Structure 1
Amino acid sequence: MPSANSTQTVTWDIAKFITHFIIEEIDENTSIEDLQKMMVVALVYRVLVCVYETICIWGAGGATPGKFLLGLRVVTCDTSTMVRPNRVFVVPASNVSLSASTVRALNKNFSIAFLFPIFITLLFFQHNRTVYDIVAGTIVVQRRGG
C-alpha cells in the first residue's frame, strides 16, 4: 500500500510535469525535444478526447455528461425542417452510429486543435448546426422529457 509520502511525490511529479510542459512560456531556450514532447502530449490528449466523445455519443445515449446535464443529445440528421419557431422536424433522428460518432469527434477535435474554434460555424448554418455535425450527418437536439 503506498504511503502518503509516495502519493504526494506522484502528485508533485504530475504537477511539475504540467507546469513544465503546459504552463511555462515557450521561449528561445526551449529545446526541440521539449516542443516535441509538448506536441506528443497534445496529440495524446486529443486522441483520448476523441475516444471519449465517440463512446459517449455512440454508446451512452447520444450525449456526453455535459450534454446530458443540459438535456441535450446528438442524433442522426439527413434532413431538418422548421415546424415552428424553436421546433425542428429531424429525419431520421435515430441513434448515432459508431462511424458517424467517430467522424464527428475527429472533425470537431482536430479542427479545434489546428484551425480555429469551429463551433462558431453554428452561427452561419441552418438550425445552429456546426460543420462537424453536417459532415457526420448529426444534429444536437433537446432530449424528450428532459
Structure 2
Amino acid sequence: MVIRRKGSSSSVALLVGVAIVSGCGLVAASSQRGFFFGCYQRDRSGQLEIITDQYDRCVSHCESNYFRYAALSDTQCMCLNSIRTRVIEDKECDLRCRQNPDQTCGGANAQSFYETGVEVAGPVMNLHLTDKESE
C-alpha cells in the first residue's frame, strides 16, 4: 500500500508494510524461505557448515536446524542466526550455483545470504528441569 502526502513543493510516498495472511496467522512478507537477503563480505563464524553446490540443499539444511540464514560461498554452506559482517554490492556475489544457475553462490570474498523462513530459535535441546517441591 502506498500513501502519498502532498507537501509544499513535492509529494512524499510512504510504503506501508503488508503482512500476508495465511491459514495459521500472519507471516512476515520479508521472511520467505529461500528469499535472497543480499551479498555480504565473507563471514567465517557460521555455527553449522556443510559442503554443497545446491542452493536448495543449503537452505533446507539451515532451516531444519532452526537457523535464520543460509550463507553460500561457492560450495561452502554456513548457517547463521545473525549477520556479523557488512553488506556489499550484489555484483560481488558473481558465482552462479552449479545446480541452479539462476541463484548466486557468493563470490571471491563474498557470501550470498538467503532466508530460511525461520524467525525464532528452535526448540531447547539441553533443558534440565528439577523438582524443588519434592521434599
Q: Give the TM-score category using the shorter length.
A: under 0.3
When you count strand as a share of all residues, which structure comes out higher?
2
When you count helix as a share of all residues, which structure comes out higher?
1
TM-score by length of 1: 0.27
Query: Does 1 or 2 have the higher relative contact order (CA < 8 Å, sep 6+)?
Result: 2
